[in-house]
Structure 1
Amino acid sequence: MKISLDNQLFKAAMPVMAQIESHGYEAYFVGGCVRDSLLGLPIHDIDITSSAQPQEIEAIFKHTIDVGKEHGTIIVMWDQVPYEVTTFRIEGKYSDHRRPDSVAFVRNLQEDTLRRDFTVNALALDRQGQVYDFHDGLKDLKAERIRAVGNAEARFQEDGLRMMRALRFASQLGFSIEETTLRAIQKLAPTLKYISMERIRIEFSKFLLGSYLHTALPYFLDSNLSEYLLLPQGKVDSAIAELSDLLEETRNQFFANEESFVWMLFLQKLGLDQAKMKKLLRKWTFSNKFIDQVLAFDTLMHFETELFWSSQTAYAYNLNLLEPVQAYRLFRGEKTSKDIVEIKASLPMQDRQDMLVDGKDVMAALELKQGGPLIGQILAIIEAKILHGELSNEQEAIISFVKENWQGGGE
């Protein structure tokens, strides 16, 4: 089978492939870029595999970065774009169920594909658009099926994360999971305990955000994997089922693709308060910024209608938090004629940094040489007066207000 490589990402990578081939080595596009191109989906990055060994890649190109030479991976910089080039390899035993104890470089593409997780990810393309398929990946693409390369149990014993990846692809692509592959997941679910939480988090989040979560859900429920996730046992399956129904209903709404918002909905379905939400998200290795977003979303979701659509709330929160919550609340039928974006735009200032005086200005106005709690209190009063339209956000007006109320020890 041959396809046209019209995508600009493929075209931009062609010189890298050509350079490798000009030195007598083979080079192919491989992995997700091939799969998604064959499915007519957007591709986001390019992976290249080659018969050239790492030191040979380094000799061919002037600008390279060693990101895993011992495992065969070198970054090639071409026109200021990084391309990951990995040598054909076979892998040794996976003692820790996460990474191979050893790798051996080979010169044969087919041998290299034996180490890949699923048949649809084991497809390769050369520069002429010729597809190389050693495991019936094209047949599985046509059947919309996720099937492990070779022996499914062996693939999952090598790296337990592949079980989560199977579910993620089912959710993202809308594919079924082939029966033997699913049985292997059910049997080997306990090996998930060997996988770092960070790696699980990435795959599980993609699973939750998949456009076909609703059709992938039965596979998750049958997989036994929920028993090995750091989630409240006894509630996980029902919570994901409820979340799936909700996201299916709201799939075309932009908030359904906002990771922190979806996690907030999921944690609410689990019945967690904010203290437990925070504790769980930390266990799942989310960043403090992400956790703060989830908790802010949860707070905003509990506001009464009048409070949410108020200048007070519009001033206190950024639009990246306000807009998803507004969209969700309106979608769920909440009645209001107000728009939080318009309310925020109409504010006399967006945050305290927009205030035309600061602590130093207040101290100068009061002829103070040293600050203290009083300065902060005065600034808070000024801020509130401006927001309520009781004081103009002009330096002269504010300084005059300060002198009138606090000069000479006034309160």
Structure 2
Amino acid sequence: MSHHSLDIPAFAQAALDALEQDGHEAWLVGGFVRDSLMGRSVSDIDMATSATWRDARAAFEGAGYATHETGVAHGTITVVIDGHAIEVTTFRIDGAYTDARHPESVDFTSSITDDLARRDFTVNALAYHPHRGLLDPYGGAEDIERRLIRAVGDPRKRLSEDALRILRGCRFSSQLGFSIEEQTFRAMLERKSAILSLSRERVAHEIDLLISGEHIRKALLDCIDVLTAAIPELVAAKGFDQKSPFHMYDVLEHTAYVMEEVPGEPLVRWAALLHDIGKPASCFEIDGVRHFRGHPEIGIIIGREVLGRLGYSHTFTRKVLELVRLHDEHIAPTRKGVRRALRELDGDTALFVALCELKRADALAKAPAYRERAETAAALLDMLGRILIDEEPFTRAGLAINGNDVIAAGVPAGPDVARALDAALDAVIDDEVPNSLPELVAFVESWQCSR
């Protein structure tokens, strides 16, 4: 038992006290302990206890805390203290896994050490108590110091129990910046086809966490041979030499650098992952120089297949593919250029910001002579700010004229009203007509007469 001293939030201490005052053993476990040892910020807190879920519920409710039955088949309830939710699970031993997803049975135990034995990786097989100290039967604290992801026990057995652990290993590498221990990684490679047995929802959720990690560049490059079981379309990017004065990395390396340079949010990280995925298919070579004409369009085809297979929503997919489509398009950092781009994005300013972030990262991951293009992305964002401050129109809603005004100007009700508004918006964006009602009415009257 190690005597590390970790800061425990008051609400977590209250949960420990409630269980122990009722005669039960309780420990803080998992990510809270790992992240506290690393000095990382902690969000979720999990607890393991000798109490059955019914006894735990009685202890908490006796102390005046609300509980919810969130997984009682596996011994789990959630207690809410001062607005904070804590998952509390009875010490347990998992039975045999026959489907690479779920244990056939769960046996409850009185031993915290037995409970830790079922965990996936040593850095997660840790328990802490403010008086008893750190319980670390598998060397997780040392692996944290070594910055290493290592399976608890036999890695082949551990990964065969739940195939999601294969992706979780990659995810922890991305989030923590750790390398994966050799035998554990070998088992991940050997078992990676088992990822195909997982539901697409579980895979997508894990990939979202993975690609949002702070250390995604290292994780993508280190784990690519595992991740291709979930996204086989990435195979062609690995080692694909771009042979271009614009680039110093192969397609996968470039992709990894771009991903790390954009914010850690699934939308723009997915766009970064897919932005050049069409390059191998679009490539042609002239005099030793490779060209990739049409790679965004091919990337859209590939990206739609990837995101569709993983069950992403139509809206999310559309936004990612819009970023893929426009990432290589030139947008002039002028009022007209930015307003036109905003109009093309249906006025979605957040998506325009994501596009600028992708363009900036794409430039920074090129050869040094071409990285100054990142300044253009900054200029685009600056111009967006000016346009928003000045309330300049870039959608129909921003026009001083509306559908009723258009009809009053002589345009018949129906599709022509939308066409007239679009023509008016084009004219305003191009600075041909001021955005005022009299001028726009005159414009619409002229537009109608000329048809």
**Shared fold per TM-score greater than 0.5:** yes
Q: How many positions carry a matched residue from both structures? A: 403
Say whether residues 1:235 and 2:236 are aligned partners: yes
Matching residue of 2:205: 202
Q: Following TM superposition, by how much is the alpha carbon of 1:356 offset from its aligned partner in structure 2, in angstroms? A: 2.9
Q: Which amino acid aligns with 2:430?
A: H
Is the Cα–Cα contact under 8 Å of residues 75 and 84 in structure 1 kept in the other structure?
A: yes
CA deviations on 1:191-228 (whole Å, 9 max, x unpaired) are 2222223323333444445444555467535xx53563
Q: Which amino acid aligns with 2:353?
A: N
Matching residue of 1:64: 67
Q: Following TM superposition, by how much is the alpha carbon of 1:250 offset from its aligned partner in structure 2, in angstroms? A: 5.5
TM-score using structure 2 length = 0.78
- Residues 1:135 and 1:256: Cα distance change in structure 2 (over 3 Å): closer
Q: Following TM superposition, by how much is the alpha carbon of 1:232 offset from its aligned partner in structure 2, in angstroms? A: 3.3
Q: Which amino acid aligns with 2:406?
A: V
Matching residue of 1:165: 168
Q: Following TM superposition, by how much is the alpha carbon of 1:403 offset from its aligned partner in structure 2, in angstroms? A: 5.1
Q: Which amino acid aligns with 2:417?
A: I
Q: How does 1:112-123 map to 2 (within 5 A)?
A: 112-123=115-126
CA deviations on 1:173-203 (whole Å, 9 max, x unpaired) are 2323223323332333332222223323333
User: Aligned equivalents of 1:14 and 1:398: distance in 2?
Assistant: 66
Say whether residues 1:265 and 2:275 are aligned partners: yes
Matching residue of 1:356: 400
State which of 124, 133, 136 in structure 1 corresponds to 2:127.
Answer: 124
Matching residue of 1:312: 340
Matching residue of 2:290: none
Q: How does 1:34-53 map to 2 (within 5 A)?
A: 34-53=33-52
State which of 422, 426, 435 in structure 2 corresponds to 1:393.
Answer: 435
Matching residue of 2:188: 185
Q: Which amino acid aligns with 1:30?
A: V
Matching residue of 1:278: 304
Matching residue of 2:254: 246
User: Aligned equivalents of 1:15 and 1:244: distance in 2?
Assistant: 48
Q: Which amino acid aligns with 1:351?
A: T
Identity, % of aligned pairs?
28
- Residues 1:364 and 1:127: Cα distance change in structure 2 (over 3 Å): farther
Is the Cα–Cα contact under 8 Å of residues 314 and 343 in structure 1 kept in the other structure?
A: no
Aligned-pair Cα RMSD in Å? 3.2
Matching residue of 1:378: 420
Q: Which amino acid aligns with 2:12?
A: A
Q: What's the secondary structure of 1:380's corresponding residue? A: helix
User: Aligned equivalents of 1:233 and 1:327: distance in 2?
Assistant: 22
Q: Following TM superposition, by how much is the alpha carbon of 1:123 offset from its aligned partner in structure 2, in angstroms? A: 0.4
Q: Following TM superposition, by how much is the alpha carbon of 1:329 offset from its aligned partner in structure 2, in angstroms? A: 5.1
State which of 322, 327, 348 in structure 1 corresponds to 2:355.
Answer: 322
- Residues 1:235 and 1:326: Cα distance change in structure 2 (over 3 Å): closer
Matching residue of 2:95: 92
Is the Cα–Cα contact under 8 Å of residues 74 and 85 in structure 1 kept in the other structure?
A: yes
User: Aligned equivalents of 2:313 and 2:442: distance in 1?
Assistant: 44
User: Aligned equivalents of 1:249 and 1:189: distance in 2?
Assistant: 25
- Residues 1:176 and 1:404: Cα distance change in structure 2 (over 3 Å): closer
Q: What's the secondary structure of 2:275's corresponding residue? A: helix
Q: Following TM superposition, by how much is the alpha carbon of 1:243 offset from its aligned partner in structure 2, in angstroms? A: 5.4
- Residues 1:81 and 1:397: Cα distance change in structure 2 (over 3 Å): farther
Q: Which amino acid aligns with 1:81?
A: H
- Residues 1:25 and 1:395: Cα distance change in structure 2 (over 3 Å): farther
User: Aligned equivalents of 2:380 and 2:51: distance in 1?
Assistant: 57
Q: What's the secondary structure of 2:232's corresponding residue? A: coil
TM-score using structure 1 length = 0.85
Q: What's the secondary structure of 2:70's corresponding residue? A: strand
- Residues 1:120 and 1:236: Cα distance change in structure 2 (over 3 Å): same
Is the Cα–Cα contact under 8 Å of residues 260 and 293 in structure 1 kept in the other structure?
A: no
User: Aligned equivalents of 1:66 and 1:252: distance in 2?
Assistant: 39
Q: Which amino acid aligns with 1:32?
A: G
User: Aligned equivalents of 2:255 and 2:39: distance in 1?
Assistant: 24
- Residues 1:129 and 1:203: Cα distance change in structure 2 (over 3 Å): farther
* 5+ residue gaps, structure 2: 242-248, 282-297
Is the Cα–Cα contact under 8 Å of residues 95 and 103 in structure 2 kept in the other structure?
A: yes
Q: Following TM superposition, by how much is the alpha carbon of 1:233 offset from its aligned partner in structure 2, in angstroms? A: 7.7
Q: Which amino acid aligns with 1:267?
A: I
Is the Cα–Cα contact under 8 Å of residues 314 and 344 in structure 1 kept in the other structure?
A: no
User: Aligned equivalents of 1:295 and 1:381: distance in 2?
Assistant: 26
- Residues 1:169 and 1:234: Cα distance change in structure 2 (over 3 Å): closer
Q: Following TM superposition, by how much is the alpha carbon of 1:119 offset from its aligned partner in structure 2, in angstroms? A: 0.9
User: Aligned equivalents of 1:71 and 1:364: distance in 2?
Assistant: 67
